[in-house]
Structure 1
């Protein structure tokens, strides 16, 4: 998740506090030293308690795919070079540093899920289910929503399936050697990784990203123990 750093007209600078809430990062702002839950996107202690940050949608994908979609990207590399130092952690069974707060065996501890519904109706979309069903249309909290998954890069994204008050239905198609989302209402073609329409009646329009996060099952379930699981019988 990314956040806007402007709060009540003041730009705040954030750092890592070294604390955890149910294994999730806790930030602090240097202006008031308030503590902020990365997962809840709000301050949990200090002068700004209860203040929420504006969400900036991010895409968790491979560097190659990101460069393919956004060829003008430049990146800052800091620290060590080489492989991912967390490979061993990903492969292990441990649930973070302090363990699970709410044990739930409906999925394996470190199954990756796309979590949707931070304010109401939480639902987890297991990546294992999304690999089979790459495109899911649903109404979430009364909002037409589409979930897209790319199995080659393990990328899961959620969009509002609505433009100018009109709900859209999508299907995955291939044209000119690339994958598109095509709406059945106008036949416009949309880029799955950006939600932008490049061809057809809606060319120039863009679907709005829905606040969703790719996260380990144990982390999502700790914060949202009442969550539904997409595809669970």
Structure 2
């Protein structure tokens, strides 16, 4: 299956419109029209989660856009209520992917536990556990960041920590790194190795 393209098809246009709407804090009083081609939405906290979901979809051999499913980063879990309010009237299939500490926001927005896949403690932690330290470091090497990580490991606050904990902290130290590695770490996995919450999120909203 080839790479998914963000062209001008209805799902991609809706994803872009929803992103603008979110950046404007829900644009009070302004709704984003949901085209009839959009049948479902996967609500994720940020860009790194979207990157991982797109790569997981590729590994599973599915194309969310072709299935009418939008993957919508919300700019944080606290925005989920606004997104649910926007999307519920269109009667879309909704599913959320979130960190353990943010699950309550999804519950208060009206998504029950069967409609939310919870990462413990977060998606980066799930991906790193699935890979293990050696394979995760191999990904850093391919991305050109292993030298930076070795320097990071020598910091006094990091020296005594387990490697997976060091990796987890390293991924959050630079803007854009989580999105980069949301894709790269997921890409390293086989379809059967995907963390359960990530697989569930993609398959649930696609009707699998």
Q: Same fold (TM over 0.5)?
A: no
Which one has a bigger Cα radius of gyration?
1
Considering fraction of residues, name the structure with more helix. Answer: 2
Answer 1 or 2: higher relative contact order, Cα 8 Å, separation at least 6. 2
TM-score w.r.t. length of structure 2: 0.29
TM-score w.r.t. length of structure 1: 0.27
